Structure 1
Amino acid sequence: MNFQESCLCYQTFKIDRKINSRLILSSNIHSTDSGTSLEVVHVVEKKTKLKIEKIQCEASESQCNETHKAIEQSMKDKRPKSLLVFINPRSGNRGAEKIYQRKVLPIFQMCGVKTNEYVTSRPNEVRDRLLNTNLNTYDGVVAVGGDGIYNEVLSALLDREMKNSGLDPNDPDSRLVQLKLPIGIIPAGSGNYTAWYLNGTKCPKTAAIRIVMGDCVATNVASLHQGNRCAGYSSLILGFGLFGDVMRDCEKYRWMGTSRFKVIPVGTVLSRRPVNVIISYVPAKSGDNNSNAENRVTAPKQQFHRQISVPVFNTKKARVTFQKRTVSSSANFGAASEWRTADERVVYAVDTYPITMKPKGTKMAPHFGEDSLKLRITQKCKLMDHIRQLKEVDDGKSTCYDFDFVRTISVERYRVRILNKEMQDFFVNCDGEVICLDGPEIIVSLHRRVVQLYGSPN
């Protein structure tokens, strides 16, 4: 039994196999009167789902000690040792706490990961705790529930970093600061799309194993502003128009559980409403292309830079403004001359996906950390054509956006101004949460790779 070429090699009369050291979770030495053995807990990869397996191999005491030390050394800096966990007991069918206790916590304990759990009981509890907790003792934060609680954790951490950096999150021109701690997601909610994109499955055990293994992928965030107020952050979907109305209607029937997402949208689509808008955008720079593999990391790295300029006037206000700046708005989002106006005036939907869906064979596949946002504008069209297009989106077909009435633009930033004279309620679907607009204009901006997520997309 030896440890070489990044593989643990077993050769006994019962076992003859190699195990990739990256998939080993823990090892323990067992000494008895009959001899010494090494128990290794490792991961078996079966398509998208992962399974934990234990192997006990007999060997001499010196061999066991040598292999055990080699395994510990290989896992020394990579794996999280302490996690802060937030559980939303109302997620999905109200089974998040049970899923965590029965399926996830045993995996953390088996791998020697210390956890500090909070079961939320009120709105904004996640935010209050994250803004006032010393995070220096933790290696990561875990959200147990649906996409909603992940968004809560993400938003609180982003606001915390902005505050610590002396930046105003309500300023539309502020650049988000990269988070220092990775975020893990245990799927236990209604949608669980982010966890699905990360791991190829909605299995909570697989998500827990991915967190323990420590691999991370960098992902983008889109900020949503109304006037001088940050209305929210999105890492999954920002949908104005039809998708905002769909989520508004689904919220009225939460008692239906996950089945509401199959029933309620039908009525919303049949009663779709056109919106008169002006859409402006800053186009992505030509040549923006990003390899998904380049975003896989094992530890967060700072990817933001400070741009320095000299204040024009030597006043207190100028000095304060100078101290708070990190990157100028023109450098971030384009000068006024770079803004373009879309031809579309009457639309059914304006949507953005920070996790970009791209064709892969006959299906769409998620890509993390792309260098641009895909702005999709759905123009006026026949109802049956629209239903057919939405059905392809739901089925994940690679042709779901290849329709004449759907326009896709790669952008860094965009704004939507509503021109309807009548006072109506308009909504935005922000990662499954409904935001009711309080003004006629929204601004959406891309922030590249500011978050590290525990996971390993295929």
Structure 2
Amino acid sequence: MDTTVTKLANKVLEAVPGTPEHAIAKQLETGKPIEQRPTAAPAHKPVEDEIMRNTIRAKAPGLDTPHPPDPDAHPLQFRDLHTADASAAPMLSGSTPGSTRYQREQLLPAAAGDGMEMRVDGHQATVTLGKTGVSFLTVTSDGLPAVPFSEMLSAEVLPPIRGVWRLPGTRLHRMVIWTFRRSPQNAACWHPRQLLLETAAENVLQEWLQRINAAIVQQARRQVALPAGLPQRLLVFVNPFGGSRRAQQIWETTVRPVFDKASIKSRAVETEHGGHARALLISMPAEELAGYDGVVAIGGDGLFHEIINGLLELRSVTSGTSLDQHQWAELQQHLEETAAADAAAAAAAAVQTAVEGGQPPQQHGGEQQVQEAAQAKSSMFGVPGCARHSQPQIVHHRTGSIAASMRVGHIPAGSTDAVACTLNGTRSAFTAAMHIALGDGCPLDVLRVDTASGEHAFATCMVSYGFMGDVMAESESYRWLGPMRYDVIGAKMLAANRSYRVRISYLPAEPDQIAAAGKVLRLAVWRTSVTVPDAYPRLYRLSCRRGKWVHLEGEMAGVMLVVMPCRSEKSQQGVARYGHRSDGLIHLVMVKKCSRLQYLRFLLTLSSTGLAAGEHGFFTVVPAVAVHVEPVGLRESHWNADGELLPNNHITAEVHRGVIEVFARGVEVH
């Protein structure tokens, strides 16, 4: 007997004594026939299945060990099965965490006789190709969970191999289904999963391949309220400098393989400086922009913020306002009266100073100073309803419509990744890539911020003044520290215990709007993410409301305008505990001047339970739809809009409900 054959048999089989595989290996080695023993029925072979499972585990130690809670411990990616032999098939536990919801689904056969005997990940099973997915009936007690088409990337035929388990010498034709499984620690965190199907019937496998891939496309078109369905071509921005500087590695090892399995073509652009992605989108010709189905950010929240601003610059929303002119006129009148009063007080103080200094006051000088000061102040309001903001920007109609149809995805590779945590419930790059490849979509609120100097910006997470603004401004010169800079500068700002005098005007949300948002939030599952296009207008308008502006003034340690829950590892419940990514609300947080210990308690509340609406002693949380903030003290802080410092501290902000579509389905729970 050729020694090469013997070595090959021992290597492939690694048989356990007493099993049929051991007998086959013995026959190959000695060349002598062996006694034929009756083979038990498949329903009575749990021992053999367990031996097979143990053999595979011995070859691939750690295969069935749970993934670490931190998805960044090592990149998660699909295994290459093209060169795998039959004995190296991946074995996955049938009791996949989080699969019970799909086991309850009714996966009815598409036609009679669709049940086929196959090997699935090393298990003998009856596989049924149903109307909504693929189900499995195994002889073992644990079984395999059904997989719906909505959770498959694609199916692919692998090179055939020689069967060695039951039918030695038989050619086994193989097909792999690329999908995922849910983490036992966090149902929202997904891990790669390959379902390997093996059968001797080549024609059946080819037919199933075509039907599965066609069903994946049709299922995506039914679920996504967009004509595009699954993305075909994506523009990917990679920030190599953000966070831990692993964005390029994440793109190469995790994201691009997922896109390849889903047959998604992509163009990757490595950003060279801040604002690069925004500038490229704004300057891109309409014909080139129309060639993409979406834009993906691989980096931190700042890169996502850049892309949102770039796309909205191309749309008419940059010149529009969601409030009616009556409400803006009311705010404008109040600000003008306040400015006139401030100017009169300043003029009176100037006259008093001149008299005390022995200088005669100028004739009619007080009235002139009042008028000049009032005019100067009125030109700095930054109110979108003012004359200076009423001139619409000229935007190319086709470019704007193309930008409006773009979905945006975020692959987390930054310091906090609040966007990914809020949209997906995890910082896992693989999970975010799967949501994009599967074509998931849901709306996202955007906060428009107008400054007194005429600039505007858009934010999806938070706009903050005071403590948070100071931390961002101070940390810019400590970027070499990486994510640690926020903790270091945060401790420094806490010790400084600064406060700033501001005037705040806000338009509170109506009670019925808050109640409606609360009903959605209490569900807190992925089903709330279903997009119903006609359920609300794309720009959330308040013309039917006649709410009254609320005005206040005082010393504030911090002011925060929170748009989405802003979940992160530092605040797992979210900054706004009952916030939602598309409820049309601004959660206005006002922290009064307080002691260091009190502000530390406030920060601990942020990180532990999040903030709920109401009075909480030294801080208040108010649901609003528009906010105007004007510093009035000698000392000013900085406005931080999603990690970008605004050039002017006089701002007016309003929320646009669901104006951006993102690749996500919401946070999944067990």
Q: Show the counterpart of 1:277.
A: 502
Counterpart of 1:94, as a letter, is R
Q: Secondary structure at the match of 1:22?
A: helix
Match for residue 482 of structure 2?
257
1:138 — aligned with what? 292
Q: Report deviation, 1:340.
A: 2.0
Corresponding residue for residue 147 of structure 1: 301
1:246 corresponds to 2:471: yes
Matched ranges for 1:57-456 at <5 A:
57-59=197-199, 60-76=201-217, 77=221, 78-133=229-284, 134-162=288-316, 167=319, 172-173=384-385, 179-227=404-452, 229-288=454-513, 289-290=516-517, 291=520, 296-297=529-530, 304=537, 332=541, 338-356=547-565, 364=577, 367-397=580-610, 403-420=616-633, 422=634, 424-437=635-648, 441-456=650-665
- Give CA-to-partner distance per residue, 1:299-355, whole Å, 9 cap, x none: 9889647xxxxxxxxxxxxxxxxxxxxx8xxx9456997442344422111111110
1: CA distance between counterparts of 2:175 and 2:240?
39
Q: Which amino acid is the alignment partner of residue 215 of structure 2?
A: S
Q: Report the equivalent of 1:324.
A: none
CA–CA distance in structure 2, aligned partners of residues 357 and 255 of structure 1: 25
Distance 1:185 1:357 in 2: 14
Deviations 1:212-241 (A, max 9, x none): 122122111111111262331110010012
2:179 pairs with 1:42:
yes
Q: Contact 2:565–2:577 at 8 Å: present in 1 too?
A: no
Shift of the 252–401 alpha-carbon distance from structure 1 to 2, 3 Å rule, reads: farther
Instruction: Quickly say closer, same or farther: Cα 1:57–1:298, change in 2 above 3 A.
Output: farther
Q: Does the Cα contact within 8 Å between 2:585 and 2:624 map onto a contact in 1?
A: yes
Distance 1:280 1:245, change over 3 A: same
- What letter is aligned with 1:154? I
> Structure 1 length normalisation: TM-score?
0.83
CA apart distance, 1:35: 4.4
Q: Is the 8 A contact 1:222 1:233 kept in 2?
A: yes
Deviations 1:238-295, CA, capped at 9 Å, x for gaps: 0012211111112221110011122210111221322222211112123002325676
In the alignment, structure 2 segments of 5+ residues that lack a partner are: 1-126, 161-169, 222-228, 322-381, 393-399
Q: 1:156 to 1:295 in 2, by over 3 A?
A: farther
Task: Work out the CA distance in 1 between the residues paired with 2:611 and 2:589.
Answer: 15
The answer for the alignment partner of 2:153 in structure 1 is 25
Q: Structure 2 vs 1, CA of residues 241 and 401 (structure 1 numbering), >3 Å: closer, same or farther?
A: farther
Question: 1:217–1:368: 8 Å Cα contact kept in structure 2?
Answer: no
Deviation by residue 1:357-381 (Cα, 9 ceiling, x = unmatched): 69979x9465210132111111122
Displacement of 1:181: 1.0
Aligned partners of 1:218 and 1:369 also within 8 Å: yes
Pair 1:193–1:352, CA change in 2 (3 A): same
Q: Distance in 2 between matches of 1:445 and 1:21?
A: 40
Higher helix share: 2
In the TM superposition, residue 61 of structure 1 has moved relative to its aligned partner by: 3.4
**Contact residue 216 and residue 299 of structure 1 kept, 8 A:** no
User: Number of paired residues?
Assistant: 428
Judged with a 3 Å threshold, the aligned counterparts in structure 2 of structure 1 residues 390 and 205 are, in CA distance, closer, same or farther, namely same
Residue number in structure 2 paired with 1:53? 193
CA 192–365 in structure 1, closer or farther in 2 if over 3 Å, else same:
farther
SS of equivalent to 1:456: coil
Q: Which moved more, 1:444-453 or 1:394-403?
A: 394-403
Q: Structure 1: which amino acid aligns with 2:310? A: A
Amino acid across the alignment from 1:246: V
Q: 1:6–1:294: structure 2 CA closer, same or farther, 3 Å change rule? A: closer
Identical positions, percent: 24
Distance in structure 1 (CA, Å) of the matches to 2:566 and 2:273: 34
Judge conservation of contact 1:11–1:17 (CA < 8 Å) in 2. Answer: no
**Runs of 5+ in structure 1 lacking a partner?**
306-326
Per-residue deviation at 1:384?
1.1
> Counterpart of 1:138 in 2: which secondary structure?
coil
In 1: Cα distance, 2:464 partner to 2:640 partner: 5
Equivalent position SS for 1:250: helix
- Could you tell me how far 1:445 is from its partner in structure 2? 0.6
What is the alpha-carbon distance in structure 2 between the residues aligned to residue 227 and residue 398 of structure 1?
Answer: 29
Counterpart code for 2:557: Y
Does the CA-based 8 Å contact 1:81-1:112 persist in structure 2? yes
The one-letter code matched in structure 1 to 2:208 is T
Q: Is the 8 A contact 1:300 1:452 kept in 2?
A: no
What is the rounded CA distance, in whole Å, between the counterparts of 1:49 and 1:281 in structure 2? 38
Which amino acid counterpart does residue 135 of structure 2 have in structure 1? C
Whether the 8 Å CA contact 1:103–1:205 is kept in 2: the answer is: yes
Asked whether the 8 Å contact 1:219–1:369 carries over to 2, the reply is: yes
- What SS does structure 1 have at the residue aligned with 2:505? strand
Cα 1:401/1:50, change in 2 over 3 Å: farther
Q: Name the CA shift for 1:12/1:392 in 2 (closer, same or farther; >3 Å).
A: closer
**Residue number in structure 2 paired with 1:322:** none
> Would you say the 8 A contact 1:333–1:413 is kept in 2?
no
Closer, same or farther: CA 398–126 of 1 in aligned 2, 3 Å? closer
Q: Residues 382 and 12 from structure 1, CA distance in 2 versus in 1: closer, same or farther, beyond 3 angstroms? A: closer
The letter of the residue matching 2:475 is C
Q: Any idea what SS the aligned residue of 1:75 has?
A: helix
Question: Partner letter of residue 237 of structure 2?
Answer: F
Structure 1 residue 79: deviation in Å?
A: 2.3
- Higher mean displacement: 8-17 or 265-274: 8-17
Deviation at 1:125, TM superposition (A): 2.1
Q: CA deviation at 1:69?
A: 2.7
Q: Secondary structure at the match of 1:102?
A: helix
Higher relative contact order (CA 8 A, sep 6+): 1
The amino acid across from 2:150 in the alignment is R
How many angstroms apart in 2 are the aligned matches of 1:369 and 1:138? Answer: 25
Change (3 A) 1:434 1:398: closer
Q: Relative to structure 1, is the Cα distance of residues 125 and 242 closer, same or farther in structure 2, using a 3 angstrom cutoff?
A: same
Which sits farther off after the overlay, 426-435 or 292-301? 292-301
